[in-house]
């Protein structure tokens, strides 16, 4: 067994022990941090390398850093709203603030429709890789069956039981990521010692085309907004602090990961199997890599889809003042997600999801700007106006990675 494989297995196993340890797993601050952290580095971790290699070449690490910075700006608006908008909504909400909050809920539920399609598409693609199947039609069939199952479970009230898998799935996913990064560090050291380490310069779009593709990759670093909706479990200061931690940690993990895999970049995305290209890209690491990535992918995508389906159903019910039951909202989410799976490929789904989420961020930035203006903070008002305009720009000009 190669030293890279041994490192991958040992570090992953050690990390499982750490993440499943009761004192660690049940720590209040860790639980508040892990929800947004798991969302940020979930599916994005699986597709970031190949897509950024295609979009930015050896500048992928810089593109990743820029995406994380943009996400941090969006997160700043949401953190401000946790501190200032939430109390206002509970006491004497202004009509415009209430209207923006309602609009945010509707847009976020629509974004969840797309993200469910995104997560289950990836789950199907990685699951079929056990049989070396990369056919898009087979992936869509598999994804349709899984989404249909979740929709029916939601309609009869069974999704809450599946949510219990989320904490364990997060532990498995983070353990796999820790092992993979450790293996990549060892592989880089081995290559450098042998004089084989180099960064390749794959062909990729330049100018406005490159920028439009990068704008469509915001979903890779999306997920921090979940802290906004943990108010029943954690107070505002805790959610603000742990959201920052989640974004700092995910930024470090993403940039280190992209730097480590740059030497494995190849030209372009494959016509079929682009969702799982990370397996082929990192195949030189050894035989243990594919099973570890696939297991992590199945665990994380299933739990993320369940969480977002519940989120969409709950938001639809709340925004309709309870006229639409959560169970029906889950079923509607499943039907729309299935339609998206058949109407778009994975790169289009990523771009659509990014646009949907940045519209939500634009609304959150508008709320934050209004609150900052009422508080007399002109600097923050200008910042949040800029953040809102940035989100609108992304929504208008983002393009799929395969254009």
Torsion (CA) 214, 346, 295, 187 in degrees, nearest 10: -40
Domains of the chain: 3-397 (1.20.1740.10)
Both structure tokens of 77: 């608006």
For residue 99, the model assigns a pLDDT of: 84
pLDDT (average), residues 199-214: 70
**Residues 62, 56: contact at Cβ < 8 Å?**
yes
Helix axes 378-397, 60-90, angle to 10 degrees: 120
For residue 235, the model assigns a pLDDT of: 87
Per cent of the chain over pLDDT 90 is 20
Average pLDDT for the chain = 82
> 267 falls in which pLDDT band (50, 70, 90)?
low
- Which residues have C-beta within 8 Å of that of residue 255, sequence separation ≥ 6? 61, 64, 65, 68
**Residues 347, 274: contact at Cβ < 8 Å?**
yes
pLDDT (average), residues 54-79: 90
Exposure pattern of 147-171 as b/e (b: 16+ CB <10 Å)? bbebbebbbeeebeebeeebbebbb
Q: Is the pLDDT of residue 231 over 80?
A: no
Q: Is the pLDDT of residue 315 over 90?
A: no
Of 344, 307, 276, the residue nearest 133 (C-alpha): 276
Q: Is the pLDDT of residue 130 over 50?
A: yes
pLDDT (average), residues 190-214: 72
Alpha-carbon span 179 to 163, nearest angstrom: 25
For residue 60, the model assigns a pLDDT of: 85
Alpha-carbon span 311 to 96, nearest angstrom: 24
- 188-192, 222-226, 303-307: range with lowest mean pLDDT: 303-307
Q: Is the pLDDT of residue 401 over 70?
A: no
Q: Is the pLDDT of residue 320 over 80?
A: no
Place of tokens 């992953």: 12
Q: Is the pLDDT of residue 147 over 70?
A: yes
Place of tokens 């030293």: 3
- Which residues have C-beta within 8 Å of that of residue 291, sequence separation ≥ 6? none
For residue 92, the model assigns a pLDDT of: 66
Task: Note the pLDDT tens digit of each residue in 16-54.
Answer: 888 888 877 777 787 788 778 877 877 777 777 788 877
Alpha-carbon span 67 to 4, nearest angstrom: 29
For residue 403, the model assigns a pLDDT of: 46
Q: Is the pLDDT of residue 90 over 90?
A: no
For residue 381, the model assigns a pLDDT of: 94
């Amino acid at each position: 067994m190669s030293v890279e494989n041994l490192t991958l297995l040992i570090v992953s196993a050690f990390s499982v022990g750490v993440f499943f340890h009761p004192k660690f797993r049940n720590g209040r601050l860790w639980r508040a941090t892990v929800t947004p952290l798991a969302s940020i580095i979930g599916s994005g971790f699986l597709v970031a390398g190949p897509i950024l290699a295609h979009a930015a070449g050896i500048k992928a690490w810089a593109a990743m850093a820029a995406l994380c910075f943009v996400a941090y700006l969006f997160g700043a608006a949401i953190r401000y709203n946790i501190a200032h908008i939430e109390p206002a909504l509970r006491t004497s909400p202004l009509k415009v603030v209430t209207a923006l909050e309602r609009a945010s809920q509707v847009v976020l539920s629509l974004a969840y429709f797309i993200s469910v399609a995104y997560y289950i598409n990836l789950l199907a693609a990685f699951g079929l890789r056990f049989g070396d199947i990369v056919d898009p039609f087979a992936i869509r069939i598999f994804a349709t069956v899984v989404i249909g199952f979740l929709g029916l479970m939601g309609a009869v009230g069974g999704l809450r039981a599946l949510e219990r898998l989320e904490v364990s799935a997060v532990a498995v996913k983070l353990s796999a990521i820790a092992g993979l990064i450790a293996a990549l560090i060892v592989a880089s050291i081995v290559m450098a010692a042998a004089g084989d380490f180099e960064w390749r310069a794959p062909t990729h779009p330049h100018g406005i085309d490159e920028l439009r593709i990068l704008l469509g990759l915001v979903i890779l670093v999306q997920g921090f907004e979940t802290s906004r909706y943990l108010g029943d479990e954690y107070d505002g200061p805790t959610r603000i602090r742990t959201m920052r931690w989640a974004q700092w940690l995910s930024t470090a993990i993403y940039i280190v990961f992209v730097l480590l895999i740059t030497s494995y970049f190849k030209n372009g995305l494959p016509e079929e199997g682009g969702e799982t290209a990370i397996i082929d890209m990192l195949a030189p690491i050894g035989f243990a890599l594919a099973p570890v990535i696939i297991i992590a992918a199945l665990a994380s995508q299933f739990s993320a889809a369940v969480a977002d389906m519940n989120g969409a159903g709950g938001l639809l019910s709340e925004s309709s003042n309870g006229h639409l039951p959560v169970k029906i909202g889950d079923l509607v989410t499943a039907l729309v997600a299935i339609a998206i799976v058949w109407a778009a490929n994975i790169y289009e789904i990523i771009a659509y999801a990014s646009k949907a989420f940045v519209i939500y961020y634009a609304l959150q930035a508008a709320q934050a700007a209004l609150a900052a203006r009422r508080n007399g903070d002109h600097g923050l008002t200008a910042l949040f106006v800029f953040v809102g305009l940035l989100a609108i720009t992304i929504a208008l000009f983002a393009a799929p990675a395969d254009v």
